[in-house]
A and B are shown apart, each in its own frame.
Chain A
Amino acid sequence: MSGFRVQNRGLIDRHKTLSFQFDGKSCTGHPGDTLASALLANGIKIMGRSFKYHRPRGVWGAWFDDSNAIFNISLGAIQLPNCPAATTYLEDGMQARSVNTFPSARFDIKGVLDWFSPFLPAGFYYKTFMRPNWHLFEPTIRKMAGLGKLDGNIIEEYQSDQIHQSCDLLIVGAGPAGLAAALSASQKGSSVVLVDDHDIAGGSSYQQQSNIENKPASLWIRDQIAAIAGNGGRILLSTTAYGIYDHNLVALIQDSGFGHAPRLWRMRAKRILIATGAIDRQITFANNDRPGIMSAVGALEFLGRYGVLVGKKIALLSNNSHTQNTANLLREAGAEVETFDTGDNSPVAIGGKKLRALNIDGKSHSCDVILASGGLTPVVHLWRHGGGRLEWNEAIQAFIPAQATTGMRAAGAANGIYELDEALADARAAALDQPSPKVQSAYQIKALLPDINSKKRQWIDFQHDVTVKDIELAARENYSSVEHLKRYTTLGMASDQGKTSNMAGLAVMASLQNRTISEVGTTTFRPPFVPVPFELYRGVKRQQLFNPPKRLALEAEHRNVGAAMGEYGGWLRPAWYGDDDPHNTIRKEVISARTHVAIIDASPLGKIEIMGPDAEKFINFVFYNTLTTLKPGKIRYALMLSERGIVYDDAVITRVDQNRFIISCSSSHVEGVNNALEGWRQDGNDPDRIFVHDTTQNWATITLSGPKAGELLSKLDMSIDLSPDAFPHMTFRQADFLSVPARISRVSFTGDPSYEISVPTLHASALWSAIAKAGKSVQAAFIGVEALSILRAEKGYIIVGKDTDGETMPHDIGFSQPRLRKESAFVGDRALHTHAANGQNRRQLVGLMVKGNECKIVTGAHLIDQSGSKPRSIGYVTSSYDSPTLAHPIALALLENGTARIGESVAVWNQGDIRQATIASACFYDKGGGLLNA
């Protein structure tokens, strides 16, 4: 194999040589090479195999328009699957392996599939593999499918940077048009961001060997860049604009090198200019998928950027007026070039793994490369993402940008303008949002009409092996809309998403249906323009920074006394304290709470203040229970319902004074309750008379619960009269703690006398210390959420969302009075009187007991009615514990018509096992409630 590197061409750094391997073969290249260009320079033509028939494939295009050369690449410990060779820059030591081949692209054993191709037309799998069962065939099909292999390793530092940015004008593409536009706009004072997906700006200018505005191209480019930067414009290289989203948000992916996660720029642009250039359209002819058949523009790109001449004896097949220029450029670089017109001359590529000749009209012309130039196709994907329309331009035989939403323009080749000076003028006008000058184009192109009657196979989608015959078959079977065609044949669904195959496919469809390409239309262009790693969307949002829990101000104190931590309601809270067996520890915590006093950090509990002259009216409307009768200094338990009458949350509500209430809702519902309150506030009320402030995090709350709670509280010296008459259950006092305002609510979640002491969070530590110190003398114990869950269950106090579900209404959990009595309007009222709400078999909260020596019931077991032929669920167990206080298991459940069945037996079903339980009242501890008033 002789090398195809030429002198005096290319932007590569010839001073440095890089070594790499491809399919086990050692090769060399230079910095600036892509894997594709380096392989071509090493004389390697076969770089992959097609997906279905495993036919040998060479590289087609020099950049994102190639869908054939896809490699798994390892570099050091890093392995990345599905790397496109034409857009992956070479690094020293890379080991590249063509995907889906064995043992290599050159000698793939599955190449035999091509012999069976007549039996494997488009969609063949829809017509067979049905009997006996798809499952028999699926494993084999799956193994044959897929491209690269995922190694399952995690690259530890692989983390994407993500930045929000904005600008006046985002220009996509730093070719001559984009550069000219960037300079014009930045000169006028616009903040400009210019992005280009190559590592060196200049776009297609390297394909030519000519001047730009009387300067050598590279000099012109350099001067533009300097001037743009001088005007404050930013240029991002190796950056691909891959999607446009609502309100002109453009997603940019900036490459950071192999194995390094790319950077995401979320660019908000006032205006967007698409200067993405154009790619060559493939030509449909017999055997047009052979290695060595390439895009003509691609060949010029390989030559201009990488100094690689793709062949020595080149056949250039073309339908347009760029032919001579292309041929001359290749000849200047040292190739023999013969040019051929498209037309009624039945081109056939001769050769298998190695291209030998191009037959035209039966006459053989020897060559080692066939360059196909079917005419330029503007790259309009982003235009479509942004909602811009396309129109078919008959003169240049291409879809070009037409109408757009405000703020988007196209310029240069992307706009169908291929002459340099016209493109520059177009770009400068677009940059300043002025109308583009009319263009007199010298570009001539003949319509490409595929020979749909050829007996030989002609390829449309190279990766998916979709041929003209497949499209004919699709048309014959009436998959005739362009989307059906695509999905049935899989044309354009490969990893290149049809960048080159779409136009060829549409032309065939049009011929078959006797319609124009314009009438056939295009499929939907979707982001991302090129595949982007999932990591791009992740960035810092990983591990601990993925939805992190809220942290308590007293966390250090908890850890100091050995707290085990757990996530509850979005907070990291003490689950229990100590290093002993958790079940024993929790048991002891419950017993301490019942016999002495428990200390609980209740800071996450909501504290939402409702203030204003209409506060009372408002809170009475939003909550189920009557609150107009709540006096200052008093506390009442209340339920918040949804409009459907479902219990959304429960809370204790404190009235501080005439115009001020504090809602202490569940810690897990604070945001939801706050939003609901704000929503209702703004709905039909005078907003200047009601205010909702979420002050939850301003206050730290420590709860003392147990027979000795009052005694412990008195030791804190807050000058409060703690006698039952002065400070009864469900009342509220304000006091001072060390000259800082404190509040004490006498409410209980455990069934024992309980005081919730709140101080501003900045003083939480001081309160905690005082309590811990004073607690020693009354054998106080710190208890965590697990113990608290048991204590409240013993008392039958619900946890909303655990002991209620999305159907539970207040009268299902024992609160029926407001539904029957409350006269003023409240949220959910109407829903409480529907047919369903009045149903006889509603699931109601009950308790469950088992026989003395039996183990506790499994939470989530269902209660069943066995009277029919099959067991029917009539409810389920919501909470279940071994009660340390009562020394037997207890459970709470929602059961159809449960409260009328107390005392009866019910069958409990768990994964097929059945046991019996007795229905009881939901309260097991201090049924009379006398303890609370002690």
Chain B
Amino acid sequence: MTKTYSAFNIIKEAFKGHKGWSPAWRSPKPKAQYEVIIIGGGGHGLATAYYLAKNHGVKDIAIVEKGWLGSGNTGRNTTAIRSNYFYPESCALYDLSVRLYEKLSIELNYNVMFSQRGLMVVFHSEAEMEMAVRGMNAMMLGGTDARLLDANEVKQRAPLLNYRADARYPIHGAVIQERGGTARHDAVAWGYARAADALGVDIIQNCEVKDVIIEGGTMTGVETNLGPIRASRFGAAIAGHSSVLARMAGYQLPIHSYALQAFVSEPLKPVIDVLAFSSTYGAYISQSDKGGLVIGGGLDRVPSYGQKGNMPMQENVLSGIVEFAPALAKVKLMRHWAGIVDVTPDSSPLIGPSGVEGLYINCGWGTGGFKAIPAGGYLFAHLLATGSHHEISRPFDPSRFQSAQLIDEGAASGIAH
């Protein structure tokens, strides 16, 4: 069986009709008992299992995923990866992720196509440029790369954008993170899944947690459609459905779930090489390697578990992107969809104990989950393996809502909400 991915092996297998490739992962039946069960087979869950096995030598791990792996937000996002945050704690967290992404393809032996093409946040007035300087300095001091561009430099990097005199919001400049970019979202899930499986992790798909088993105040198992499965420790990484599990187990989470819509155009020859973001136009855009323009914006502000959104937000985002880049007016939308994002009051994630003994949570990533998959997995694995926080994840413990030591990235933009 050919296990290793390489050009050489592709050529070798080509002569055998590609019949020798081994499965990317097994489809094991669940055992009755494991050391650790990860609830949720999305990017964070898969990465957690991988790092648990790889970095911490944990042997007996299962992931239970109610659908097919990577079917939640991991397969629905706009694939942006960046660490251009304001607070040093956030910079540390997201930049860890960027650094892990930089080596990920080779580490997993799976091409996730991390394209560090540069992520540019564009500003449209003198007042906005002042905020840009504030944010950029925060990033630089926080250890993340950031650079200020003037209007001409922005035009050189992204000629597609609106430099017309009648542009609603002229472009004054931008802050660029050169190390930011995009990756192939499914490949991240599949790469982690394959690597975790190779280390002995049982990935059990189509296995839905129907209830939790709590004995003497400690979580000891999950009831699933495939029967009960027990473990010593549980980690939940289920994003928009985190409140559902919380209700089952009897703890509370400070999150609201909203639909976040995303859009892709028909494939075009290359028209934009960076990821361009405008808060004022309310939209951002990048081009996938297959040629489709991937576009995102803000939330449908009606709490919902339905993975779809409605027209008013579509109009807001798409009218914004066309004003941001008017040449796109005649480009056609090919498909739109939505994920369910779990938003916390300070727009920062929750990593830590759930309040139920034995159950830990990794959620609350809001609109920023995909970029954080490697860091989320790495840090959650540390927590599950050792019972205590890595120094990077400690500030994101849910107890911060009692002490009010919040890491309010929404606040960083100057807005109180």
Contact = CB atoms under 8 A, between A and B. Distances in A.
Interface string A135-148: 10010011101111
Interface in B314-338: 314-315, 318-323, 326-337
Given A138-B115, A532-B333, A873-B88, A154 B326 contact: yes
B335 to A, nearest CB: 5
A912 B140 contact: yes
A801 interface: yes
Max chain B Cβ within 10 angstroms of own Cβ: one of A142, A266, A532, A831: A142
Interface stretch (A124-132, A368-376, A715-723, A732-740): A124-132
Given A802-B414, A909-B137, A872 B88 contact: yes
Interface string B287-323: 1011100000000000000001011001100111111
B267 A642 contact: no
B414 A478 contact: no
Interface in B1-42: 5-7, 9-11, 14-15, 17-19, 21-27
A831 B289 CA distance: 47
Interface in B94-153: 105-106, 109-111, 113-116, 125, 127, 130-138, 140-143, 148
A531 B266 contact: yes
A537 interface: yes
Nearest to A266: B311
Closest 7 CB pairs of A and B: A806-B411, A860-B133, A146-B291, A531-B332, A834-B404, A860-B134, A836-B404
B156 interface: no
A495 interface: yes
Contacts of A873: 88, 137-138, 141-142
B329 A535 contact: yes
Interface of A: 51, 80-82, 100, 118-119, 121, 124-131, 134-135, 138, 141-143, 145-155, 158, 245-246, 249, 251, 261, 266, 469, 473, 476-481, 483-484, 487-488, 490, 495, 497, 524, 526-528, 531-539, 541-544, 546-547, 567, 642, 644, 646-648, 800-802, 804-808, 831, 834-837, 858-862, 864, 870-873, 876-877, 909-912
B388 interface: no
Contact of B268 (A126, A146, A860): A146
Max chain A Cβ within 10 angstroms of own Cβ: one of B25, B75, B333: B333
A134 B113 contact: yes
Contacts of A544: 166, 168
Interface string B62-106: 000001110100010000000000001000000000000000011
Contacts of B109: 130
B160 interface: yes
Contact of B6 (A128, A473, A835): A128
Contacts of B268: 81-82, 146-150
B133 A147 contact: no
A251 B308 CA distance: 15
A535 B345 contact: no
Contacts of A130: 5, 105-106, 109, 111
Max chain B Cβ within 10 angstroms of own Cβ: one of A100, A487, A490, A526: A487
A533 B327 contact: no
Contacts of A535: 322, 329-330
Contact of B289 (A142, A543, A910, A911): A142
B6 A538 contact: no
Contacts of A118: 14-15, 17-18
A648 B414 CA distance: 10
A477 B269 contact: no
B205 interface: yes
Given A134-B111, A476-B23, A495-B267, A806 B417 contact: yes
A126 B404 contact: no
B127 to A, nearest CB: 8
Nearest to A130: B105
A155 B21 contact: no
Nearest to A641: B416
Nearest to B127: A802
B267 A150 contact: no
Contacts of B406: 644, 807, 836
B200 interface: no
Given A127-B6, A483-B75, A533 B125 contact: no
B176 to A, nearest CB: 13
Contacts of A805: 411-412, 414, 416
Contacts of A483: 68, 71, 75
A478 B269 contact: no
Interface residues of B, number: 110
17 contacts: A81-B266, A129-B7, A130-B111, A138-B115, A142-B287, A145-B289, A146-B268, A155-B329, A478-B27, A479-B24, A483-B68, A490-B290, A534-B331, A537-B319, A647-B416, A834-B403, A859-B134
Contacts of B311: 245, 249, 251, 266
B310 A546 contact: no
A861 B137 contact: yes
Contact of A82 (B111, B115, B332): B332
B408 interface: yes
A557 B349 CA distance: 52
A81 B265 CA distance: 12
Interface string B376-417: 000000000000000000000000001111101011111111
B323 A542 contact: yes
B315 A541 contact: yes
A497 B334 contact: yes
Nearest to A245: B310
A128 B75 contact: no
B88 to A, nearest CB: 7
A932 to B, nearest CB: 28
A151 B184 CA distance: 27
Contact of A142 (B19, B136, B191, B291): B291
A755 to B, nearest CB: 28
Contacts of A837: 404
B315 A537 contact: yes
Given A148-B268, A533-B332, A546-B168, A910 B137 contact: yes
A873 B140 CA distance: 10
A134 B114 contact: yes
Contacts of A648: 416
Max chain B Cβ within 10 angstroms of own Cβ: one of A141, A152, A488: A152
A533 B331 contact: yes
Nearest to A151: B327
B357 interface: no
Contacts of A142: 270, 287, 289, 291
A131 B323 contact: no
B258 interface: no
B14 A644 contact: no
B267 A147 contact: yes
B214 interface: no
Nearest to B337: A526
A827 to B, nearest CB: 12
Contact of A534 (B15, B106, B265): B265
A923 B280 CA distance: 33
A514 to B, nearest CB: 14
Contacts of A531: 265-266, 332-334
Contacts of A806: 408, 410-417
Nearest to A127: B5
Max chain B Cβ within 10 angstroms of own Cβ: one of A81, A249, A910: A81
Contacts of B411: 646, 805-807
Contacts of B160: 152
Given A124-B10, A128-B10, A911-B148, A835 B403 contact: yes
B365 interface: no
Nearest to A473: B18
B187 interface: yes
B248 interface: no
Contacts of B356: none
A82 B266 contact: yes
Given A119-B11, A911-B136, A129 B111 contact: yes
